[in-house]
Structure 1
Amino acid sequence: MADPEKLFKVDVVTPDGLIYSHRSSIIDMRAIDGQRSIMYNHVPLLTPLAIGDVKVKRSREMNQVVDHIAVSGGYIEFSNNVATIIADSAERARNIDVSRAQAAKERAEKRMKEAREKHDERSLERAQIALRRAVNRISVYNSKK
């Protein structure tokens, strides 16, 4: 008889509350120092996250379900087979309003152009972050297809 699949709990929390809670066989995410993957019985860790796609694989079987979550920074803490992501903002791919994300992307590009013309480094930096967030949301939305 095969060993039962080893799953661990994954929770994603934002200032608005719990937005995701499932069991997973592996999660992939982008930390500020590079790509990370976590599996059952991983060593404890606490690391800051970059703007990116968190992929939660809920099964290693043939019918693997992968949930995509757009996160805009935050932290992941893993211990005792519980992964907790505390994010500044997070959205599941199925909940992303892609037209709103596209509008945010266009606004950010416009603000970047204006900031460059005015040589306003601080505004340029904020616009670049807004652009990365919008592009990430669009990319995560498209990953669900």
Structure 2
Amino acid sequence: MADPEKLFRVDIVTPDGLIYSHRSSIIDMRAIDGQRSIMYGHTPLLTSLAIGDVKVRRSREMSRKVDHIAVNGGYIEFSNNTATIIADSAERARNIDVSRAEAAKERAEKLMKEAHEKHDQRSLERAQIALKRAVNRISVYNTKK
């Protein structure tokens, strides 16, 4: 008889509360030092996350069922077979307002151009981060198609 699939809990929390909670066989995310994957029994971990797509595979048997969550930085802590992501903001692909994300992208591009013309490094850096967040949201939204 085959061993039952080992799943662990994944919770994603923002200042607005718990936005995601499911059991998973594997999660993939971008940490600030590179791509990471976590499976059941992984060594305890605490690391910073980059702006990116967190992919949660619900079960190996349901290998096609992958939830995509746009995370704008934060931290992941994994211990006792529970992954907790704490982020300033996070959105599931199905909840992203893509027209709002596209408008944010256009605003960020305009602000980058203005900051570059004024040689305002601080404003340029803020606009670049806003652009990364908008592009990430659009990209994650497009995974649901």
Q: Aligned residue for 1:81? A: 81
TM-score w.r.t. length of structure 1: 0.98
Query: Relative to 1, partners in 2 of residues 1:42 and 1:89: Cα closer, same or farther, differing over 3 Å?
Result: same
Q: Aligned residue for 1:139? A: 139
**AA matched with 1:95:** N
Q: Alignment partner of 2:4: what SS?
A: coil
Answer yes or no: is 1:117 the counterpart of 2:111: no
Aligned residues: 145
How far apart, CA to CA, are the structure 1 residues paired with 2:23 and 2:62?
17
Query: Relative to 1, partners in 2 of residues 1:42 and 1:141: Cα closer, same or farther, differing over 3 Å?
Result: same
Deviates more, 1:63-72 or 1:34-43: 63-72
Deviation string 1:95-144 (CA, Å, 9 cap, x unpaired) is 00000000000000000000001000000000000000000000000011
Q: Quote how far apart the aligned CAs of 1:64 are.
A: 3.4
Q: Report 1:1-145 matches (<5 A).
A: 1-61=1-61, 63-145=63-145
How far apart, CA to CA, are the structure 2 residues paired with 1:130 and 1:62?
34
The runs of 4+ residues in structure 1 deviating greater than 4 Å are none
Unpaired runs of 5+ in structure 2? Answer: none
**AA matched with 2:8:** F
TM-score w.r.t. length of structure 2: 0.98
**AA matched with 1:23:** R
Identity, % of aligned positions = 88
Deviates more, 1:129-138 or 1:56-65: 56-65
**AA matched with 1:15:** P
Deviation string 1:64-116 (CA, Å, 9 cap, x unpaired) is 31000000010000000000000110000000000000000000000000000
The answer (yes or no) to whether the contact 2:57–2:63 under 8 Å persists in 1 is no
**AA matched with 1:92:** R
Q: Alignment partner of 1:61: what SS?
A: coil
How far apart, CA to CA, are the structure 2 residues paired with 1:44 and 1:63?
25
Q: Alignment partner of 1:78: what SS?
A: strand
How far apart, CA to CA, are the structure 1 residues paired with 2:63 and 2:35?
25
**AA matched with 1:60:** R
